[in-house]
Structure 1
Amino acid sequence: MFVESIKTPGLAQLSYLIGDGNEAAVIDPRRDCDDYAQMARQRGCRITHIFETHRNEDLISGAPILSEITGAPVHHGPNAAGDVTYADTVREGDTFTFGEMTLKVLETPGHTDDSLSFAIYDDNFGEQAVGVFTGDAMFVGDVGRTDFYPDRAKEVAGCLYDSLEKILSLGDQAILYPAHGAGSVCGDNMANREFSTLGYERDNNPMLQIRDRDKFIDRKVAEHHEQPPYFRTMERLNLKGAAPTRRVLTPPALSAEKFDQLCDNAVVIDVRGISAYLGAHLPRSIALPEDMIPAFAGWILDEQDELLLVAESSEQAEAAARHLARIGFDHVLGYLDPALPGWAAAARPFDSVPVVDVDEVKARVADNGEQWSLLDVRGRNEIEEGVVSGATTIYIGHLPQQLEQLSKEKHYTTMCASGARATIAASILRRAGFQHVDVFLGSMGAWQAAGNSVTQ
Structure 2
Amino acid sequence: MFVEPIKSPGLAQISYLIGDACEAAVIDPRRDCEIYIALARQRGCRITHIFETHRNEDLLSGAPILAQLTGASVHHGPDAAGDVRYAQTVREGDDFTFGAMQLRVLETPGHTDDSLSFAIYERGQNEAGTANRAIGVFSGDALFVGDVGRTDFYPERKEEVAGLLYDSLEKILALGDQVILYPAHGAGSTCGGNIADRDFSTLGYERLHNPMLQIRDREKFIASKLAEHHEKPPYFRHMEQLNLVGCRAPAQEMTPALISAADFQRLSAKPPAEKPLVVDVRGVTAYLGAHLPGSLAIPCGMIPAFAGWFLQPDDEFVLVADSPSQAEAACRHLARIGFDRVLGFSDTALPAWAAGARPFDSIAAVDAATVKSRADGGHDNWRILDVRGRKEIAQGIIAGAETIFLGNLPKQLEQLSKERHYTVMCASGARATIAASILRRSGFQKVDVFLGSMGAWRNSGNAVTSPGDE
Smaller-chain TM-score range?
Answer: over 0.9
Alignment partners' CA distance in 1, 2:381 and 2:140: 49
Report the counterpart of residue 190 of structure 1 in structure 2. 195
Residue segments in structure 1 that go unaligned for 5+ positions in a row: none
Corresponding position: 1:168 with 2:173: yes
Which one is further off, 190-199 or 361-370? Answer: 361-370
Kept in 1: contact 2:13–2:186 (CA 8 A): yes
Q: Of 219, 234, 255, which aligns to 1:214? A: 219
Shift of 1:344: 2.1
Q: Of 227, 231, 239, which aligns to 2:232? A: 227
Shift of 1:341: 3.6
Kept in 1: contact 2:252–2:341 (CA 8 A): no
Alignment partners' CA distance in 2, 1:405 and 1:371: 15
Alignment partners' CA distance in 2, 1:343 and 1:90: 57
Counterparts of 1:15-414 in structure 2 under 5 Å? 15-126=15-126, 127-246=132-251, 248-263=253-268, 264=270, 265-414=275-424
Kept in 1: contact 2:252–2:340 (CA 8 A): no
Report the counterpart of residue 129 of structure 2 in structure 1. none
Residue segments in structure 2 that go unaligned for 5+ positions in a row: 127-131
Alignment partners' CA distance in 1, 2:382 and 2:277: 29
**AA in 2 matched with 1:210:** I
Alignment partners' CA distance in 2, 1:244 and 1:347: 41
Alignment partners' CA distance in 1, 2:163 and 2:233: 25
* Structure-2-length-normalised TM-score: 0.96
**AA in 2 matched with 1:451:** G
Alignment partners' CA distance in 1, 2:63 and 2:214: 35
Which SS does the other structure have where 1:254 is aligned? coil
Kept in 2: contact 1:311–1:339 (CA 8 A): no
Shift of 1:366: 2.1
Which SS does the other structure have where 1:253 is aligned? coil
Which SS does the other structure have where 1:360 is aligned? helix
Shift of 1:246: 4.3
* Per-residue deviation, residues 196-241 of structure 1 (Å, max 9, x unmatched): 1100111111111111111111111000000001101100110001
Which SS does the other structure have where 1:421 is aligned? helix
Alignment partners' CA distance in 2, 1:345 and 1:25: 55
* Per-residue deviation, residues 389-442 of structure 1 (Å, max 9, x unmatched): 111100000001111111111111100011111111000000111010001111
* Per-residue deviation, residues 259-303 of structure 1 (Å, max 9, x unmatched): 111124111111110000011000011111100100100011111
Alignment partners' CA distance in 1, 2:378 and 2:366: 17
Q: Of 427, 430, 434, which aligns to 2:444? A: 434
Which SS does the other structure have where 1:402 is aligned? helix
Alignment partners' CA distance in 1, 2:413 and 2:349: 30
* Per-residue deviation, residues 41-93 of structure 1 (Å, max 9, x unmatched): 12111111100000001100000000111111110000101221101110001
* Per-residue deviation, residues 293-323 of structure 1 (Å, max 9, x unmatched): 0010001111111111110100000100110
**AA in 2 matched with 1:154:** E
Shift of 1:10: 0.7
Shift of 1:247: 6.7
Shift of 1:169: 0.1
**AA in 2 matched with 1:358:** A
Which one is further off, 16-25 or 258-267? Answer: 258-267
Q: Percent of aligned pairs with the same residue?
A: 71
**Root-mean-square deviation (CA), in Å?**
1.0
Kept in 2: contact 1:310–1:339 (CA 8 A): no
**AA in 2 matched with 1:53:** T
Alignment partners' CA distance in 1, 2:52 and 2:363: 45
Alignment partners' CA distance in 2, 1:5 and 1:251: 28
* Per-residue deviation, residues 82-122 of structure 1 (Å, max 9, x unmatched): 22110111000111111111100000000000000000000
**AA in 1 matched with 2:248:** A
Report the counterpart of residue 454 of structure 1 in structure 2. 464
Which one is further off, 337-346 or 141-150? Answer: 337-346
**AA in 2 matched with 1:44:** G
Alignment partners' CA distance in 1, 2:348 and 2:392: 39
**AA in 2 matched with 1:211:** R
Which SS does the other structure have where 1:200 is aligned? helix
Alignment partners' CA distance in 1, 2:337 and 2:257: 20
Q: Of 455, 459, 470, which aligns to 1:445? A: 455
Which one is further off, 289-298 or 354-363? Answer: 354-363
**AA in 2 matched with 1:248:** E
* Per-residue deviation, residues 127-166 of structure 1 (Å, max 9, x unmatched): 1001000000001111101111111111111100000000
Shift of 1:342: 3.5
Alignment partners' CA distance in 1, 2:234 and 2:194: 23
Which one is further off, 117-126 or 217-226? Answer: 117-126
Which one is further off, 100-109 or 122-131? Answer: 122-131
Distance 1:375 1:417, change over 3 A: same
**AA in 2 matched with 1:405:** Q
Alignment partners' CA distance in 1, 2:392 and 2:459: 16
**AA in 1 matched with 2:452:** G
* Structure-1-length-normalised TM-score: 0.98
**AA in 1 matched with 2:159:** K
Distance 1:246 1:305, change over 3 A: closer
Which one is further off, 52-61 or 180-189? Answer: 180-189
Alignment partners' CA distance in 1, 2:187 and 2:144: 9
Alignment partners' CA distance in 2, 1:339 and 1:109: 51
> What stretches of structure 1 move > 4 A for 4+ residues in a row?
none
The number of aligned residues is: 456
Shift of 1:455: 1.4
Alignment partners' CA distance in 1, 2:43 and 2:175: 29
